[in-house]
Amino acid sequence: MNDAAPPAIDPDLTHIRDAVLAMPMAQTLGVRFTELRPGHVELRTPIAEAMTFRPGQLQAAAVFAAGDCAAVAAAGSLLPPGSWAATIDGTIKLVAPASGTGLRAVGRVIDAGRLLTTCAADVYAVDGEDERLCATWLGTARTMSPRLV
């Protein structure tokens, strides 16, 4: 019996991480993956002053982007090799200020279809050991593959 915990980053899914981190927006946000498993993604981003609308509080677009990256990466993690997920719509509900030192976005798949996947992310404002939910993102990702493009 093997009691070892599964790796935080599934080696079979590093192409998902690499694709997200290649996007200029993800680079601007400073996205860092902390978990990546089929149907589940957790990432972190720092709160950079350039992304705030007042000192220490992120503007909603940066919060939206973090949720989008986490949720759609989770959708992509269930696709066959050579396919990728692309956002076709998304909405966010802001429930608290995104202030502190960073964000933790936890993405998950709600319903995976052949062409469309409903996915979501909860985004938490992080300040040291304290975390609080600041937003929930819900959207749809379209499966893209060389044969569909």
* pLDDT tens per residue, range 70-90: 999 999 999 988 899 999 999
pLDDT attached to residue 114: 92
Read off the pTM: 0.93
Is it the case that residue 5 has pLDDT exceeding 80? no
Provide the mean pLDDT of the chain.
93
For residues 52-62, give the mean pLDDT: 92
Amino acid at 119: C
- Quote the pLDDT of residue 9: 92
- Indicate the CATH number for domain 11-144: 3.10.129.10
Residue 19 clears pLDDT 60, i.e. is over it:
yes
Average pLDDT over residues 93-101: 96
Average pLDDT over residues 118-133: 97
Is the predicted pLDDT of residue 94 greater than 80, yes or no? yes
Per-residue pLDDT averaged across 12-16, rounded? 94
Domain spans, the chain? 11-144
User: At residue 91, what are phi and psi to the nearest 5 degrees?
Assistant: -140, 155
Does the structure show a pLDDT above 80 at 146?
no
Above 60 in pLDDT, residue 149?
no
Whose tokens are 């379209």? That residue is 142
Report the candidate in 75, 93, 86 with the shortest Cα–Cα distance to residue 138: 93
